[in-house]
Structure 1
Amino acid sequence: MGRAVGGRGGAREDDGRGSAAGAVDGLPDAAPPPGERAVARRFTAEIWIVLGLSLGKSAVYAVVSLIAKLTAGPPLASQTTTLNASRSPRPYLDLTYQLLSIGFALLPVALALYLLSANGRSAVRRIGLDRTRPWRDLGIGVGLAALIGIPGLGLYVAGRALGITVEVQAAALNAAWWTVPVLILSALQNALLEEVVAVGYLMERLRDLRWRTPAIIAASALLRGSYHLYQGWGPFVGNVVMGVVFAEYYRRRRRVMPLVVAHTALDVVAFVGYALLPEEWLEAIGVT
């Protein structure tokens, strides 16, 4: 004859969509949490998607580029690759293209941080991208940059002498008032993308998948080397070594900020130095 009416402690009518005891406001019971295998499949798919949108895509293109160089005829030592090239002879249009490229390249960083914060935990704190220890991070970052940069330059020169490394033109922007600021922003973008995705995100997700520590470090280091293959075998080896050092530091300290500082410093020296140093100086150190 109608809905039963009762006081606060009265019986609740079952509307047919679930048990009266388990339903909340007429909604069915919540689904059970996913099992370990389902979570592992989700994380694996997630890793492939993030890498496919960022450094994994770059690695595939780098492999194809290296194959193209090896089959082109001339030896690697006589070939050139250019970073930070101008995109238009019109200065302000070129600036627009450069800023758009930097901005869109950072979207995978935002995606990786978003995914790492899925459980409500701060992703920047989880991987140590915060500013809680600025001076210590700066000091460690500069030290890491020196540790990697000086041997890295020697490895580049040796690779050029052995014919296994192409000539890298680190900056080819047209001269303008914004050239140096854009090169610095490009260096910061590279550092954030590589250290957040290849170190922080990837190592955290592989830990979630219960990979062993040597395999996690190897995966991070080989990924870093693979997307530098377009520069030849020398930079591949050098970046794998850099990847091992950075991954081991992150494993011990769980902070990616010093790695971002170190990577930014390395790229600023390379990009701005290439743009500003006299050509005879660059020739003397074997950069051009």
Structure 2
Amino acid sequence: MGQDETVSNTALEPAVPQAEASRRRLTIEVVIVLGLSLGQSAVYSILRIIERMTRNVPLSQQTSTLNQSATPDRPWLDLTYQLVNIIFPLFAVLLVLYLLQLTHPRPWRMIGFDLRRPGFDAWFGLVIAAAIGVPGLGLYLGARALGFNTQVQAAALADNWWTVPVLILAAAENAILEEVIMIGYLYTRLRQLSWRWPMIILGSALIRGSYHLYQGFGGFVGNLIMGAVFGLVYLRWKRVAPLVVAHTLLDVVSFVGYTLVAPHVSWL
């Protein structure tokens, strides 16, 4: 075959506009990130609530247990399991920061996940936690009373010297994972994909609510509202850090508070 008759396969392919290619790449990136992290959790949680709803036992008489011991008879191994369970999910946070760095030089600063304003982040996070926490407890108790939620055992670790520190670390891990991915990363990417802000807030909040569905519909609604509030706060101040502080405080109170209070009361 002569040289003039040779045509490369690439030349036969239609040219894809750069903007369209970038949009496609970002869409695929978001799907992969969610599929490897909290989107996957949402799917499993939806399956879990379906399984719960199709039991012969009412939802209100079922129990959702968080922070369970892996080997309660071997504390050193149990501690290792707990630390591994805390560390590995944070690789998803490193992944999204790396991906954001491909389009933004300092993504941690762009989303406000840094130490530039520690005082503001601390006190504002405390205010947010207080504003969310009390109504959230009321919603949980109300949902249980109406039969829409399971009984949530927020901590079921064996009694060891490291129990409270591990629960605090687990609270911080949950907060970092959820706020960096569901707010900092997802808001950035969906905006780059030309989503409007109301749809971004709603979409992120729906995913957040969905991966708490395993607890029941009270957990879904409560976290849906929390996600929307956190989203509005982020749009106003452009900082993930106070949301991480608030979320950490909420989970510390839930995990450690449950451990200390639950043995002495009947309504939790």
Q: What TM-score, normalized by structure 2, do the two folds share?
A: 0.92
Aligned-partner Cα distance in 2 for 1:248–1:185 = 27
Aligned-partner Cα distance in 1 for 2:43–2:142 = 26
1:65 aligned onto 2:48: yes
Aligned to 1:35: 18
Aligned to 1:127: 111
* Structure 2 counterpart of 1:113, from 85, 97, 104: 97
1:33 and 1:250, CA in 2 relative to 1: closer, same or farther beyond 3 A?
farther
Q: Partner of 2:194: helix, strand, or coil?
A: coil
1:171 aligned onto 2:134: no
Aligned to 1:263: 247
Aligned to 1:9: none
Aligned to 1:51: 34
1:84 aligned onto 2:67: yes
Aligned-partner Cα distance in 1 for 2:144–2:38 = 25
1:213 aligned onto 2:197: yes
Number of positions where the alignment pairs a residue of Structure 1 with one of Structure 2: 253
Aligned to 2:4: none
Aligned to 1:241: 225
Instruction: Deviation per CA, 1:11-51: give whole Å up to 9, x if none.
Output: xxxxxxxxxxxxxxxxxxxxx99611111110011001111
1:121 and 1:164, CA in 2 relative to 1: closer, same or farther beyond 3 A?
same
Instruction: Deviation per CA, 1:260-285: give whole Å up to 9, x if none.
Output: 0000000000000111225233x2xx
Aligned to 2:125: 141
What RMSD in Å do the two structures reach over aligned CA positions? 1.3
Larger displacement relative to structure 2 (116-125 or 199-208): 116-125
Superposition pairs of residues 85-100 of structure 1, within 5 angstroms: 85-88=68-71, 89-100=73-84
1:192 aligned onto 2:176: yes
| Structure with greater contact order relative to length (CA < 8 Å, sep ≥ 6) | 2
Aligned-partner Cα distance in 1 for 2:128–2:189 = 24
Aligned-partner Cα distance in 1 for 2:17–2:36 = 26
Give unmatched runs, 5+ long, in structure 1: 1-31
Larger displacement relative to structure 2 (79-88 or 112-121): 112-121
Q: What TM-score, normalized by structure 1, do the two folds share?
A: 0.86
Aligned-partner Cα distance in 1 for 2:184–2:204 = 9
Aligned-partner Cα distance in 2 for 1:184–1:65 = 26
**Per-residue deviation, 1:151:** 0.1
Aligned-partner Cα distance in 2 for 1:280–1:84 = 20
1:102 aligned onto 2:86: yes
Identity level (%): 57
**Per-residue deviation, 1:182:** 0.4
**Per-residue deviation, 1:119:** 3.2
Question: Which amino acid is the alignment partner of residue 70 of structure 2?
Answer: R
Instruction: Deviation per CA, 1:133-159: give whole Å up to 9, x if none.
Output: 101111110000011000000000000
Aligned-partner Cα distance in 2 for 1:116–1:42 = 13
Aligned-partner Cα distance in 2 for 1:84–1:119 = 36
Question: Which amino acid is the alignment partner of residue 151 of structure 2?
Answer: E
Instruction: Deviation per CA, 1:161-196: give whole Å up to 9, x if none.
Output: 000000000000001011000000000000000000
Query: Which of the pair is proportionally richer in helix?
Result: 2
Instruction: Deviation per CA, 1:231-281: give whole Å up to 9, x if none.
Output: 000110111000100001111111000000000000000000111225233
Structure number with greater Rg is: 1
1:183 aligned onto 2:172: no
* Structure 2 counterpart of 1:157, from 112, 122, 141: 141
Give unmatched runs, 5+ long, in structure 2: 1-14
Question: Which amino acid is the alignment partner of residue 130 of structure 1?
Answer: D
